[in-house]
Amino acid sequence: MFSEKQLISELNYKAIRSSGAGGQHVNKVSSKIELTYNLEDSQVFNEEQKERLKSKLYSRLTKENVLILQCGESRSQHKNKQIAIKRFLQIITEGLIIPKKRKPTKIPRAVKIKRLKSKRSNSEKKANRKKPNLD
């Protein structure tokens, strides 16, 4: 489908300061990873695949067709980088999936008859609950 090694080589990483728990340590260590990937400049995908990714990931892409992912789950920069890469590869593989065409099916005649019978029996059941008309 595509070369993961070549795709990973096209990624850009930036370490930024993470928010959250950690006390003074948080203020001096940049453990959060920001991963950026420029879809336009990519050599891995052909034009058709790029268009598919643009359409599927339109809400995640910037105006310049750049995908930005951040990961600050762990206190380790290395772990955050691995998590971000894993997420990125998952997003890309899901974006390239071509959905199967739906084949419309006809409702079987027996199913229609069964439904109409149950409707008739329900209406009779409810009609029997009414008081009889003594006119």
pLDDT digits 0-9 by tens, 16-48: 887 766 667 667 778 889 999 999 888 888 999
> What is the token pair recorded at 128?
């029997």
* Residues of the chain predicted below pLDDT 50: none
Fold of domain 4-95: Double Stranded RNA Binding Domain (3.30.160)
Q: DSSP secondary structure string, the chain?
A: ---HHHHHHT-EEEEEPPPSS-THHHHH---EEEEEEESTT-SSS-HHHHHHHHHHTTTTB-TT-EEEEEE-SSS-HHHHHHHHHHHHHHHHHHHTPPPPPP---PPPHHHHHHHHHHHHHHHHHHHTTSPP---
State how far the alpha carbon of 83 is from the alpha carbons of 5, 126, 128, in Å.
Answer: 16, 60, 65
Q: Where in the chain are the domains? A: 4-95
Instruction: Give pLDDT, residue 23.
Output: 67
Rounded CA gap, 121 and 134, in Å? 24
